[in-house]
Structure 1
């Protein structure tokens, strides 16, 4: 490939700053790759306009890059890359400059395109949600070291990094395996259903929806029970996420319904008990 001139390599790249041609409009930027491949001007502009429309910036087609916001310019750069019909698509943080609503829309559009894409796409991102939703294989790097190289479903179920687990919305507690669970690095002990060999450095992953919240100490089946204090309440769609601190365990995020929160009279500062069944804890060796 390196023996070919750049315009014949079939490579499209979206850098973090977009790298749009400042003297061309958004439409001309997007049509540029098609024109270099010999596509007639009218056809190239129609296809370019279609991509701009799909990414929500069609109404900005005649603006120059200097007249676009960062998020708008990033979408134009993505449209330019996709319109060029590349064999290799390189995306460096392609959604980083977008707000949450726009990011979801563009991610959906990009996912649909990649599902039918016949070439190779390499995406660099610091957002695990973006990675597992767009990729068919995820390579997790930490300080230059490969932590995981697996399908997205496996990364989601068994994240091998506290950062990845937390970005995916999971509780992630590092520790050392014992005969019945994990001695936690931050203090405390966690009982698990399938312990690792004693002495193994490991990560315990707990989904927020697996955490039960009570006003009195539970007497049922949870093997892991701690008292705590609600420190933060945030809304996540139809459910509430509670940040609960305790002197007997690391900070814990629980997810409950607004109805349950009302019944428990949950507020910032409320004293509660949390419970996690041993079977709800996934332990991953580090």
Structure 2
């Protein structure tokens, strides 16, 4: 009776993966567990003592911390909603227009829309702060040219407008990412599917809504979760435009800026690495919950649209 040949052990796979795994572990996994561990301790004079979940209890229920935390969480949620309702739909529309074979100079348009994505947050924040300045900005003059100067207001200086304005600035910068991802998904649709739809008389917008959109839903789902993770990790734009205090009156304060002030300290606020780690841990748990919700509640329903 012939014995089955043993399958060779593919050591080369481990060899090729090892550098990336080691770097990722050193840069991401170890600091993550270090942060989670630090959130369970507190300072007692010059010594570190185990506090269990007391830091989380303080963050949620102590008025000195809870008001700032819930304000930052709500602002982060609104920041994410702006991207979901404005950035991603615009990205889908732009991708649909740019994928049309009848559109001339589509490569130029794709490049022009994607260029802001590669710009530094500092450049974008500072540039838009200059543009929207009521003293030396060009926005009042541009609105005056079309007779709409009365609509201008210092949007970054008013509590009710500042966060929405920064959200729209972020949309302007990053709309190229969902556009390119959806554009790639549209190009991956087999020509046979499009030809079959045209034979059935489905063309134009009807073809997009009935044929193309259902087929790119998995890509839209991936873009949505990437938007969620990116927005709840946001920090750079708010910091560069409004500073660590996220003014006016903390109206643009998000979890990232709240974490920065708490961990490192700012002006009269003394840094507290233990409470800062607690805020960072909560950011991780919020993002983890959102990703798990997408994977188990959304992705499983979108698989039937995949080829």
Q: Under TM normalisation by the shorter chain, which class is it?
A: under 0.3
Higher helix share: 2
Q: TM-score, length-normalised on structure 2?
A: 0.21
Q: TM-score, length-normalised on structure 1?
A: 0.22
Higher normalized contact order (CA 8 Å, seq sep 6+, divided by chain length): 2
Higher strand share: 1
